Amino acid sequence: MKKIIALTDLSDQSRLAAEAAIMLSGKLRANLILFNTFISQPVLPEYGGSPWSVEELIWADEGKEKLNFLKEQLEPLVESLPAGDHHASIDCRQGMGDLGSQVKDLISKESVEMIVMGARTGSTWDHILMGSDTLSVINHTNRPVLVIPEKHPLKQIKKVTIATDLDSPDINAVHYLTRLGRLFNFKIEIVNVKLWGKEGADEGQRIVFEKHVAKFNYPDITYQHITGKDLANRLNQFCEQHGADLLVLVHDKHSLLSRLFNSTQAKSLLEKQEFPVMIIPAGIEVQ
């Protein structure tokens, strides 16, 4: 069965991500893995024949207890899902080391639908751009990563906005969204974004992109276009004005997201983003 990995640092903020994962699990018919990791510290005395630091021993013990407590808090939410939804089992796991590497290893062993995590501080965009944990996870996975901001929990999905420059790899992401959309019955709004000072998609590219999307036979897709210097703020305003529940970006080394990462103005432009953001890898395989 498919799994959703809910990454948790056992904070209140990461609980919002776990709650979103439960909401998603019902329609996706996926079970939940609550995963907490720890960065190894310098070794102190040996313990049981193996070198463990005192801090690691404390973390392993306290972390297990807190994970089980979080599981107990989440189980009533699973039971409250609609009768027709899947009622997920919740598996608690711990790891040690770089979070991205730990997630990559977990994905190699499990059939993972997506990863869900919380933005610990600041806005979602600030965390994506500056948070090493988030970037590490995004760069180590071939599955979608959903980041939940502190002040905007994801409780429903009625409308999804995907920002794209109509590059061909983005078609895979749209295809993945249509698959989700048939489960959640949400609207998809494709926003053609032109970065300031960059050459945008021409008419031929737009036609080819829309023809590919039309092959997915999804009943509720619309197209919009935005451009300008203050692009991120315009995208934020667009999502708010059009009632988007989720903003989607595609990630690879040539993607719109990568160009935003490389922009010297990216942090200042994107720090106000407060919507949940899903990062979909360009090469995602749609099943």
Q: Residue 110 is part of a domain; what is its CATH number?
A: 3.40.50.620
For residue 48, the enclosing domain spans 3-148
Residue 286 falls inside a structural domain: no
The pLDDT value given to residue 46: 47
Tell me: do 136 and 7 sit in the same domain. Answer: yes
Residue 209 falls inside a structural domain: yes
Check the CA dihedral 190-111-68-39 and report its sign. negative
Q: What is the pTM of this model?
A: 0.84
Tell me: do 101 and 58 sit in the same domain. Answer: yes
Does residue 33 have a pLDDT over 90? yes
Tell me: do 200 and 99 sit in the same domain. Answer: no
Does residue 266 have a pLDDT over 50? no
How confident is the model over 131-158, as a mean pLDDT? 81
Query: Which of 64-73, 83-92, 117-126 is least confident?
Result: 117-126
Number of domains into which the chain is organized = 2
Whether 3 contacts 111, CB under 8 Å: yes
Tell me: do 191 and 69 sit in the same domain. Answer: no
Tell me: do 137 and 235 sit in the same domain. Answer: no
Q: Which one of 148, 182, 200 terminates a domain?
A: 148
The pLDDT value given to residue 188: 98
Does residue 15 have a pLDDT over 50? yes
Mean pLDDT of the chain: 80
Tell me: do 97 and 13 sit in the same domain. Answer: yes
Residue 12 falls inside a structural domain: yes
Q: Which one of 116, 148, 180 terminates a domain?
A: 148
Tell me: do 135 and 208 sit in the same domain. Answer: no
Q: Helical H runs in the chain?
A: 12-28, 54-79, 99-109, 124-130, 132-140, 170-184, 203-214, 231-241, 256-262, 266-270
Judged on CB neighbours under 10 Å (0-12, 13-18, 19+), 270 is: buried
Whether 148 contacts 117, CB under 8 Å: yes
Residue 97 falls inside a structural domain: yes
Does residue 53 have a pLDDT over 60? no
Tell me: do 271 and 228 sit in the same domain. Answer: yes
The pLDDT value given to residue 102: 87
Residue 154 falls inside a structural domain: no
Q: Which one of 148, 173, 205 terminates a domain?
A: 148
